[in-house]
Structure 1
């Protein structure tokens, strides 16, 4: 028998209510764990407590896990990031970890298991009841970031001939009423196959309808739905367009689950977080920051850092190639950091805006020409402004009119070049099946650094007679 099935002595009125501990790791009884959860509603505080618990080691983690019952396990693990919950499960024995996963709704259990290694995930799925494991596997089958990966498979389905009274009785008998706010009218043509969706009836309609009404006459057939492989941003647009609190997830007419507005918000937030981490030149952590170990931070950052380091090497090669020019006109070296930094900044401004617009569906590959025209025009205006400022700055430094003109022209051309590169790369990468978020600030800066130096010294050769 699972330890979750063991009864617990009921508290009497005379029993004192234990004081909640200040830290989760300090709890010694199930009541203290429950008290800590009541006094710590904030997600960030709970994630920090789990991070402290995981850092303390497996003994403390096992002790706290043994104090959890289905209610407190669901309360704790549902209220934190799946990555933080998975870090806890990774330290527990398989039967105990499976018991904690079994206390979660199907979609939340899948989200937690997705963060574990494949071997660990398979062990926990095998330890779950067969029917429960099948539900969770159905959610895990869809890629991360899609509607299928975040849908709640535990939806309320009723046959078209059911009455309002029967449906309400079925809702009341459920241990957990889904947050979708609707029941789904379906038929089951084949046993063991996902039901065919015919329409939906809201909880509000059920509350107002006569008990004897048949749901076939109440169901709304024109239901906005999404496919299980729909990206999160696209699902969010469907919800906004139809002003719905939830949408069914349907595959070839068959109902797989429901996606609520909170699920969509989590999808969009997760996607935005990963894009931000990629644009910072690192792989996504897939964990709350405080739950990430130094080793994990190293693994997620070192690959990009080495790639960017290798790419930056050609900047030194370019400088060496123009060594004679630098020796002839030493003042040219004063402006190298300024010019390449400006080009990188201009490119980063564009990629940050453009990658987000692409994620929201505002820009597609067919819009490439329009994007290039817009950004090149804006880049010309920006370049002209920067060129004027650079020219004035060069004159203040007293480097002479020839060098001042070279710096001014180079600044303008480099900004224009960076605008063109940053406008073209993200759509082309999307066309090649690469996440455009990889066109990060560090990458665009690295790319513009070397090419900007070439532009600078070639313009110097044209405008400074001594270098001709």
Structure 2
């Protein structure tokens, strides 16, 4: 896509005009514009921009084609930009590079930058260690507030954040405290930094990113230091990193709950083969599950032939069970993610969902019964001489199906978590498929019980 204001007379992109335009723009707007270009064109624009602006653009997680743009850059330019980026974002880009570009770029980097990136890449994905940045402010405990402020002025441009200053033991270099920038500014210039510091709240490098997010939210922090077992600061996880992680996590959960494999790529970048891989597997699994529905209907073929009117309510019964199951599943997935409930609370959840399902099922059952009576009385449809029994069958089946859907939908996330899977994998289509099969069995079992000796 070529902007009409940055195109040449023959319609090609005018990279010089676009670079001039971006040099005075806001970084978020610049990223949005570059996302509309091909990686090669975006790289050509970055080459013409001042280095600091190009680094700011590559440092934004909203940039869709970061690795592809870096590969398209001249090798020397790519090395300079990677070295200037925040360590965590540079590591993310390097991790996504293909060989041999990845090895070539890493070898071209200076030793400190290469060592830092390799250290971050060594941590498992989605942990505090993989997310942290190594650009933060530390000072010895024997410094004064005035000297600390002077130090911040000197190093501010090379640090991702200066809102928190981490105080280290002057001899062991272990973390002993943390000082907010506000508290530092308001303190006496001659005061020792250790006197202004408060006991630090820390996390380990292997802590899951969801737990780090909860920690930052609980204590209303802008950043949390990541420390090793000896108490040395390895890096910090900032609140903006957490926001990006939460968005990514919620996107993955939404995709899983919709019945597909999670993808971290924007929709238009997935491509046809990737789209088939992400969606095809789940669709095949769900289709095989629905084959059980066909088997259930074949099992009750005789009853269907005797009372064909029962088929009219099959979609109603199946959808009601699936809807109640999906509601329960979505509530429990969220509750488990927020640690509102734990695995040991499964029985409490079951005791809550059982009466909930009964009441909800009774509500739907009454509506279903009223519908049958109304259609019969007003002559809209003739259900035959046993229409009242049919209405009672529908009402009773709805109660049974909704109760089963609520209980099964609430227990499935517990079962998946207990087995070591992500509870979000309990997708709405999976729950609906499970309830479809059992819902049919409940429906026809109730019909046999109520209509035996009349229609059946």
What's the TM-score, normalizing by structure 1? 0.84
Indicate yes or no: 2:140 matched with 1:162.
no
Q: Which of these residues, 233, 252, 261, is aligned with residue 239 of structure 2? A: 261
For 1:6, the equivalent position in structure 2 comes to none
State the SS of the aligned residue for 1:72: helix
Distance in 2 between residues matched to 1:340 and 1:313, nearest whole Å: 14
State the SS of the aligned residue for 1:292: helix
Indicate yes or no: 2:171 matched with 1:184.
no
Q: Which of these residues, 284, 290, 296, is aligned with residue 274 of structure 2? A: 296
Distance in 1 between residues matched to 2:300 and 2:121, nearest whole Å: 55
Shift of 1:371: 0.9
Indicate yes or no: 2:13 matched with 1:21.
no
Distance in 1 between residues matched to 2:322 and 2:435, nearest whole Å: 6
Distance in 1 between residues matched to 2:297 and 2:33, nearest whole Å: 47
Number of equivalenced pairs = 438
Distance in 2 between residues matched to 1:37 and 1:405, nearest whole Å: 72
Residues 186-208 of structure 1: CA distance to partner in whole angstroms, max 9, x if unpaired? 24868xxxx42111222233334
Distance in 1 between residues matched to 2:22 and 2:343, nearest whole Å: 51
Shift of 1:417: 0.3
Counterparts in 2 of 1:114-133, with a 5 A limit? Answer: 114-116=95-97, 121-133=102-114
Indicate yes or no: 2:94 matched with 1:113.
yes
Indicate yes or no: 2:35 matched with 1:50.
yes
The unaligned stretches of length 5 or more in structure 1 are 1-18
Residues 170-229 of structure 1: CA distance to partner in whole angstroms, max 9, x if unpaired? 322223333251221224868xxxx42111222233334444443333332x11122223
Counterparts in 2 of 1:258-337, with a 5 A limit? Answer: 258-337=236-315
Counterparts in 2 of 1:410-421, with a 5 A limit? Answer: 410-421=397-408
Residues 76-132 of structure 1: CA distance to partner in whole angstroms, max 9, x if unpaired? 223343654234345556655444433311122223334445875455433322211
Shift of 1:22: 7.7
State the SS of the aligned residue for 1:229: coil
Q: Which of these residues, 162, 187, 202, is aligned with residue 225 of structure 1? A: 202
Shift of 1:384: 0.5
Shift of 1:351: 1.1
Distance in 1 between residues matched to 2:299 and 2:393, nearest whole Å: 18
Distance in 1 between residues matched to 2:251 and 2:23, nearest whole Å: 27
For 1:375, the equivalent position in structure 2 comes to 353
Contact kept? 1:107, 1:151, Cα under 8 Å: yes
State the SS of the aligned residue for 2:224: strand
Contact kept? 1:368, 1:424, Cα under 8 Å: yes
Shift of 1:293: 2.6
Distance in 1 between residues matched to 2:20 and 2:143, nearest whole Å: 40
Residues 332-360 of structure 1: CA distance to partner in whole angstroms, max 9, x if unpaired? 11111121111111111111111011111
The alignment's C-alpha RMSD in Å is 2.8
For 2:219, the equivalent position in structure 1 comes to 242
For 1:3, the equivalent position in structure 2 comes to none
Indicate yes or no: 2:129 matched with 1:144.
no
Q: Which of these residues, 418, 421, 433, is aligned with residue 434 of structure 1? A: 421
Q: Which of these residues, 403, 427, 433, is aligned with residue 446 of structure 1? A: 433
Shift of 1:365: 0.5
Distance in 2 between residues matched to 1:94 and 1:438, nearest whole Å: 41
Indicate yes or no: 2:132 matched with 1:134.
no
Contact kept? 1:394, 1:404, Cα under 8 Å: yes
Say which is worse superposed, 113-122 or 425-434, in terms of deviation: 113-122
Distance in 2 between residues matched to 1:254 and 1:352, nearest whole Å: 40
Say which is worse superposed, 279-288 or 75-84, in terms of deviation: 75-84
Say which is worse superposed, 97-106 or 368-377, in terms of deviation: 97-106
Distance in 1 between residues matched to 2:364 and 2:206, nearest whole Å: 45
Say which is worse superposed, 299-308 or 74-83, in terms of deviation: 74-83
Say which is worse superposed, 312-321 or 274-283, in terms of deviation: 312-321
Indicate yes or no: 2:382 matched with 1:398.
yes
Distance in 1 between residues matched to 2:49 and 2:204, nearest whole Å: 37
Distance in 2 between residues matched to 1:402 and 1:117, nearest whole Å: 67
Distance in 2 between residues matched to 1:445 and 1:37, nearest whole Å: 52
Distance in 2 between residues matched to 1:39 and 1:366, nearest whole Å: 53
Contact kept? 2:226, 2:237, Cα under 8 Å: yes
Indicate yes or no: 2:328 matched with 1:350.
yes
Distance in 2 between residues matched to 1:467 and 1:92, nearest whole Å: 76
